[in-house]
Structures are given as C-alpha cells and as structure tokens.
C-alpha cells in the first residue's frame, strides 16, 4: 500500500527521530514503493535516478531490519566509486544514528589495515567498492556469513566500469537467504541478466517521471569554438552569477587547464578528477558540500550519485560524449524539487553528440546567443561583489543529528584489554544512564571512543573523572565531532 507519511510505516522511534531530524518530511515516490517492499523482505529492482531519495529508500528499511545485537555485518551495499561509497555510508549512518548502528566503508587506495580493524569490531552495515570488498572477503577480514541484505547501487555504472564479474564473485560468497536490491538509472541488458540470475521474483519499481529532474532544469546551449570557450565561460559566469557552480570537462588535462585559467582570474575554485589522490578528492568534495568555494571544475568522477544540495548552475564546458553522462551531470542541479540551470558548450564538430542527447532527453536544448558585451558589463559589479564575499558555510547533515551526542575519549584500549562490556558496565552504573544512552563504542590500540546520547554527555564526562573503568581511574576527554 502506498503511504505518504513516514509514521505510517512500521518503523522504530529511533529511526523516525533520525528521519525527522534529517528534515525528511514525507517519503519521496521511490521511497513510497521501496520501503514497504523491503520491510516485507522482497527483492526489488529500482529504476530511478539520483536525487530521488533512493539511498534513503533502501537505507531506512535496512536500518529497521538489522538486529543490533548481531556483531557480524548483516547488510552489504556495493557502490561503483569511493565517493559514492562514503556518501552512502554517511547517509545510512545518519538514518541509523539513534539505533546506534555501525556502518563501515571499505574502498581501494585507502589503508587496508584500518578497514580490517574496523571490520573486526561490531559492524551492522558495510558499504564498499567491488575490488576492495573482494580483497577483504578473500583475506578473511570480512565475514559475509550473516549478510541478509545486499544492495547493488548504480548498477549501470558498475557495468560501464567493468565490475559485473566482480559483483558476481561477491554474490557467490553470500547466503542465498537474502534480500537483494538493485538500483540503476538505466536498465541495459547486462543488468537485466544480472537480475534474472540472482534475484527472486523481484518487484520492479519504476518512477514514472524519469526525466522529472531533467524537466525541472532549465537547459541551454551555446555554439562556440574551442579556443573561445574560456572567454564564454567567463561571460556566462558573470551574467549568471551562480551561488554554486560545477563546470564539467571531459578529461583531467582539461580540468587542470580550466581550473588554472579560473584561478588566474581570481575565482575561488577547486578541481576534482580521477588523477588526484583519494584524500584530496574527498577533501574537495566535502569542502564543496559545505560551501567553502563556489566553483568546482570536474570530470565525470563527480557527476554520478554525489549528493550536494543547492548547485544552481552546471556548465558542460565540454559536451559529454555519452548521453547518459549528460543527464547525470545536469542532475547535480535541481535536486529534490529545486530548480536549476544547465548550460552546455557545443563546438561545430560535436553535433552528433548533441543529436544523441536530444534524442535521449526527448527535447531540444535551447540554443542561446552569446551574452552581449553590455550585458556582461552591467552584471560585473554584482558578480565581483559575490565573488569577494565568503559563501555561507553549511553544517553537514550529520551535525544536526549529533547535537545531543557527546563523544568521549578514554585513555585505554585494546593493549590494556579494554572490551565494550567494560565500558557499558561502567557507564550503566552512572546515575541516570541506561544502555540505550550509549552510542557507538570504538576500541583501538591505546584508546577507546564512546558516544553518549540524549544530552547525557556532560554528566557522564563529569562522573568519569572520579569513576574507575576496569579497576582504574582513566583519563577521559571530550572529542570534537
């Protein structure tokens, strides 16, 4: 049955609290179909684009269904890129925040050992990229014996990236007694075959307004010579004067070149492409999400799935060479019922790509005249004012949820044989505390981190100054979150 209110589903109060604090007022269309189906343990195939609320659509029922007491991972989400894996991890973590769920992300180009240590501790949900998931399974550091929920997110992108064999390898290590969810913006044949092979009577979920996002976005194009693109970019950004803008190029060399040009022109901008270190890519993405700079020059690395609100303008400095990328790129703007604008630069030799896109989106992108010199000059003052003001910094989504949570650091860990039960035992003996007030406990070599929920952090912090843990008074301090 379709329900239009989160309270109508059989969800625990911990989940409803997180949903409300995340400011999700009503379930989106995809959520209305997916949440009840997964709660009933049905396999599903979702054809829906990013920005439709699809992550929460599977995250909400998974968080509801996993058993907190089980120490081994119960849900596995496979994502095509590290950025998406990290973002999905955060989304699931936020939704499961008050149920105290532990979510781990495992992906390549990051130290294996840290992930191994994390997986050794209690973990409810694992999100990862295919190669690294297989590495952990093969080395015996990821126990998949209790996985009951499998999500294959952005399946079409996995197919494009040649990951299908790896996904099959992962599936073959899992129990057949599981719920499988597959999400994809498009349904190429390779994906259909995967569904037929590994899913049990899946429920198809197709959100009718496939191009709703594309319809909501005002799309324009300019015909321009390659060598005039920078000048046009400058004029367009002056006239449009966006609060936040993504500029897409087809290669990393082009990203570097455009970034350098803009930096020379004193734009506060950053760049992101596959040739950069993972650490730097994540930093750039996070800073852009929080609004530290207005302009991000990117390759398609940043086009898919990445959830950044309030991008007012997307510029295709290079027209994408496949039509699906076009929809993904412009989908960075106009998210969840917001309006947005997408501008595409097209050179004379690229009409074949343009025709293909027109066919795919079912309409023609409006051809515009280049802005006149007077228009550019008229807009300049406002542009300069904006570019010289620091953008408003947004708090991360998790920050709101963390308001009533305090994280404490205890100066003792694995080396002194500290176990979760020692921490829980001590904390539950403090007046006013119950197990439900204890969040995630993370014990590392010489330290323990524990979260205290429900605004009880300060009193616990005070009490621990004079309460021994495992027979000794420990140094306890507050940790910034």
> Which of residues 54, 122, 132, 244 is near ligand AMP by CB under 6 A?
54
Report the nearest approach of ligand AMP to the CB of residue 53 (Å): 3
Q: Which stretch binds ligand AMP (CB under 6 A): 51-59, 295-303, 408-416, 448-456?
A: 51-59
**How far does the chain reach from its first CA to its final CA, in angstroms?**
40
51 binds ligand AMP (CB under 6 A): yes
HSE-CB at 297 with a 13 A cutoff on CA atoms is 26
Closer CB to ligand AMP, 55 or 312, in the complex: 55
CA 477 to chain centre: 31
Closer CB to ligand AMP, 53 or 61, in the complex: 53
Report the nearest approach of ligand AMP to the CB of residue 362 (Å): 22
Report the nearest approach of ligand AMP to the CB of residue 177 (Å): 27
Report the nearest approach of ligand AMP to the CB of residue 26 (Å): 6
Closer CB to ligand AMP, 25 or 189, in the complex: 25
> Quick one: CA torsion of 340, 345, 348, 352, rounded to 10 degrees?
-50
Q: Where does residue 473 rank: exposed (0-12), middle (13-18), buried (19+ CB within 10 A)?
A: exposed
Phi, psi at 452, each rounded to 5°: -110, 125
Helix 323-330 to helix 351-361 angle, to the nearest 10 degrees?
Answer: 70
Q: Which stretch binds ligand AMP (CB under 6 A): 50-58, 113-121, 323-331, 421-429?
A: 50-58
448 binds ligand AMP (CB under 6 A): no
Report the nearest approach of ligand AMP to the CB of residue 213 (Å): 10
Report the nearest approach of ligand AMP to the CB of residue 27 (Å): 5
Q: Where does residue 390 rank: exposed (0-12), middle (13-18), buried (19+ CB within 10 A)?
A: exposed
Q: What whole-number distance in Å separates Cα of residue 231 and Cα of residue 477? A: 54
Closer CB to ligand AMP, 244 or 456, in the complex: 244
Q: Which stretch binds ligand AMP (CB under 6 A): 53-61, 202-210, 421-429, 445-453?
A: 53-61
Residues 309-368 within binding reach of ligand AMP (CB under 6 A): 335-336
Closer CB to ligand AMP, 24 or 292, in the complex: 24
Closer CB to ligand AMP, 342 or 427, in the complex: 342
Q: How is 254-311 classified by DSSP, letter by letter? A: HHHHHHHHHHHTT--EEEE-TTS-HHHHHHHHHHHHHTS-SEEEE-GGGTSS---TT-
Q: What whole-number distance in Å separates Cα of residue 112 and Cα of residue 135? A: 9
Phi, psi at 119, each rounded to 5°: -70, -20
Determine how many CB atoms are found less than 10 A away from the CB of residue 133: 27
Closer CB to ligand AMP, 249 or 311, in the complex: 311
The residue to which tokens 């006239």 are assigned: 239
Closer CB to ligand AMP, 18 or 249, in the complex: 18
The residue to which tokens 């991000």 are assigned: 296
User: What is the per-residue binding string for ligand AMP in 269-308, x denoting contact by CB under 6 A?
Assistant: --------------------------------------x-
Q: What whole-number distance in Å separates Cα of residue 224 and Cα of residue 232? A: 8
Report the nearest approach of ligand AMP to the CB of residue 336 (Å): 5
Report the nearest approach of ligand AMP to the CB of residue 370 (Å): 34
Cβ–Cβ < 8 Å for 430, 462: no
CA 133 to chain centre: 18
- Collapsing DSSP to helix, strand or coil, 418 comes out as coil
> Which of residues 14, 35, 44, 53 is near ligand AMP by CB under 6 A?
53
Q: Which stretch binds ligand AMP (CB under 6 A): 36-44, 47-55, 258-266, 387-395?
A: 47-55
56 binds ligand AMP (CB under 6 A): yes
Strand ordering across the sheet containing 103-106: 103-106, 125-128, 75-78, 149-152, 179-184, 44-47, 203-206
The residue to which tokens 């204890």 are assigned: 438
> Which of residues 55, 299, 344, 442 is near ligand AMP by CB under 6 A?
55
Residues 182-201 within binding reach of ligand AMP (CB under 6 A): none
Residues 21-40 within binding reach of ligand AMP (CB under 6 A): 24-25, 27-28, 31
Closer CB to ligand AMP, 398 or 413, in the complex: 398
> Which of residues 50, 104, 160, 219 is near ligand AMP by CB under 6 A?
50
Contacts with ligand AMP by CB under 6 A lie at 24-25, 27-28, 31, 50-56, 307, 335-336
């Amino acid at each position: 049955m379709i329900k239009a209110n989160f309270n109508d589903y059989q969800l625990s109060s911990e989940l409803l609290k997180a949903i409300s604090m995340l400011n999700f007022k009503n379930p989106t269309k995809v959520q209305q179909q997916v949440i009840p189906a997964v709660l009933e343990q049905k396999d599903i195939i979702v054809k829906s684009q990013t920005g439709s609320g699809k992550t929460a659509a599977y995250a909400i029922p998974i968080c509801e269904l996993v058993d907190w007491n089980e120490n081994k991972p119960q849900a596995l989400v496979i994502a095509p890129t590290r950025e998406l894996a990290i973002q999905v991890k955060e989304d699931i973590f936020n939704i499961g925040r008050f149920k105290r769920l532990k979510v781990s992300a495992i992906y390549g180009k990051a130290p294996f050992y840290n992930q191994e240590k994390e997986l050794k501790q209690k973990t409810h949900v694992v999100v990862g990229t295919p190669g690294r998931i297989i590495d952990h399974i093969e080395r015996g550091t990821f126990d998949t014996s209790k996985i009951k929920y499998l999500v294959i997110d952005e399946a079409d992108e996995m197919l494009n990236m040649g990951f299908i064999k790896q996904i099959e390898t992962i599936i073959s290590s899992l129990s057949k007694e599981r719920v499988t969810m597959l999400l994809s913006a498009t349904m190429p044949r390779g994906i259909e075959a995967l569904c037929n092979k590994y899913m049990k009577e899946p429920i198809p979920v197709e959100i009718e307004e496939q191009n709703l996002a594309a319809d909501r976005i005002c799309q324009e194009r300019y015909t321009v010579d390659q060598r005039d693109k920078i000048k046009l970019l400058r004029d367009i950004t002056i006239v449009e004067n966006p609060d936040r803008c993504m500029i897409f190029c087809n290669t990393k060399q082009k990203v570097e070149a455009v970034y350098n040009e803009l930096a020379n022109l004193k734009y506060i901008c950053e760049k992101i492409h596959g040739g950069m270190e993972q650490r730097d890519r994540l930093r750039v993405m996070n800073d852009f999400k929080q609004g530290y700079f207005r302009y991000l020059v990117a390759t398609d690395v940043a086009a898919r799935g990445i959830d950044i609100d309030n991008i007012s303008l997307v510029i295709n400095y290079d027209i994408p060479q496949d039509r699906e990328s076009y929809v993904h790129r412009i989908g960075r703007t106009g998210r969840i019922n917001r309006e947005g604008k997408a501008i595409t630069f097209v050179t004379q030799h690229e009409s074949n790509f343009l025709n293909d896109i027109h066919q795919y989106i079912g309409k023609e992108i409006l051809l515009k005249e280049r802005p006149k010199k007077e228009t550019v000059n008229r807009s300049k003052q406002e542009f300069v004012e904006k570019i010289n003001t620091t953008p408003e910094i947004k708090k991360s989504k998790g920050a709101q949820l963390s308001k009533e949570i305090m994280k404490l650091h205890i100066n003792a860990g694995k080396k002194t044989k500290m176990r979760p039960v020692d921490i829980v035992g001590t904390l539950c003996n403090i007046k006013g505390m119950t197990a439900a007030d204890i969040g995630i406990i993370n014990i590392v070599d010489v330290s323990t981190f524990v979260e205290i929920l429900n605004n009880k952090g300060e009193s616990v912090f005070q009490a621990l100054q004079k309460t021994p843990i495992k027979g000794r008074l420990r140094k306890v301090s507050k940790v910034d979150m």
